[in-house]
C-alpha cells in the first residue's frame, strides 16, 4: 500500500494537477500497466463497496482517488503465505486532499463513503472479468475491519450482502 499526493497548483482560475504520471511510478520501480479506468458514484453516506478482488490471471492492482466527497479506503492482505495475511490498512481519501492509494495485487479492496454523492475514480492493472470477480464479507470477523459506521447499516450491493467470509474461500494468492 502506498499513498500518493500529487502537487496541486492553485491559481485564480482554480487548480491544475498531474493526477497520474507513469514516469514517477517507474522512478519508484513500480511498473504496472494500467489498462482500465473505473468511476463510481455513491449517493448515500455509508455506502460500502467491498471487499473485492479478481482471481488470476485477471488479478488487479488499483490506483484509487476521490473526485467528489470522501471515503475510508481499505486494503486487506489476502496472500495466504504473507506474514500480514488477513491484516488491513485504511486510508481516508478525499477530493479536498487529492490523495491516492495504490492497492497491490493480492489485496482485497473496499471503501466506505463518508459523505453523500461521493465519486471515486480508479485505474486497474487488468481488465474486468465477471468470471474472476470475487467479494469477501465486509464484516468478516476474522478480518474485523473497523469501519466507522457508528450504528448505521451500510448500503450494500446484493452481491456484497451475500458474500462469503475469507475462511470459506480458497484464496488464489
52 catalytic, yes or no? yes
Q: Using CB under 6 A, which residues numbered 100 to 119 contact ligand TDO? A: 109-111
Q: Using CB under 6 A, which residues numbered 50 to 89 contact ligand TDO? A: 50, 52, 62
**Given the residues 46, 53, 109, 122, the one annotated as active site:** 122
Of 23 and 39, CB closest to ligand TDO: 39
Q: How far apart are CA 55 and CA 78, in angstroms?
A: 11
**Given the residues 52, 109, 132, 152, the one annotated as active site:** 52
**Residue 157 interacts with ligand TDO (CB under 6 A): yes or no:** yes
Of 65 and 109, CB closest to ligand TDO: 109
Q: How far apart are CA 162 and CA 160, in angstroms?
A: 5
Sign of CA dihedral 55, 79, 39, 159: positive
CA distances from 77 to 1, 25, 131, 150 (A): 10, 22, 22, 25
On the 0-12 / 13-18 / 19+ scale of CB atoms within 10 A, 166 is buried
Q: How far apart are CA 27 and CA 45, in angstroms?
A: 37
Of 18 and 127, CB closest to ligand TDO: 127
Q: How far apart are CA 15 and CA 10, in angstroms?
A: 4
Only segment of 5-13, 45-53, 85-93, 163-171 that touches ligand TDO (CB under 6 A): 45-53
Q: Tell me the catalytic residues.
A: 52, 122
Name the residues that contact ligand TDO, by CB under 6 A: 38, 40, 49-50, 52, 62, 109-111, 128, 157, 159
Amino acid at each position: 500500500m502506498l499513498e500518493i499526493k500529487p502537487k496541486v497548483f492553485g491559481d485564480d482560475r482554480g487548480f491544475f494537477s498531474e493526477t497520474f504520471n507513469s514516469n514517477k511510478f517507474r522512478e519508484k520501480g513500480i511498473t504496472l500497466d494500467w489498462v482500465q479506468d473505473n468511476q463510481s458514484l455513491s449517493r448515500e453516506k455509508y455506502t460500502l463497496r467491498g471487499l473485492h478482488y479478481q482471481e488470476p490471471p485477471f488479478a488487479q492492482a488499483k490506483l484509487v482517488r476521490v473526485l467528489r466527497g470522501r471515503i475510508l479506503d481499505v486494503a486487506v492482505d489476502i496472500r495466504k503465505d504473507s506474514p500480514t495475511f488477513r491484516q488491513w490498512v485504511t486510508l481516508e481519501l478525499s477530493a479536498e486532499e487529492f490523495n491516492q492509494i495504490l492497492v497491490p495485487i493480492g489485496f482485497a479492496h473496499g471503501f466506505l463513503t463518508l459523505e453523500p454523492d461521493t465519486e471515486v475514480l480508479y485505474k486497474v492493472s487488468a481488465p474486468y472479468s465477471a468470471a474472476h470477480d470475487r467479494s469477501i464479507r465486509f464484516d468478516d470477523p476474522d478480518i474485523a475491519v473497523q469501519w466507522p459506521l457508528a450504528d448505521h447499516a451500510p448500503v450494500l450491493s446484493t452481491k456484497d450482502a451475500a458474500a462469503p467470509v475469507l475462511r470459506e474461500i480458497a484464496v488464489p494468492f
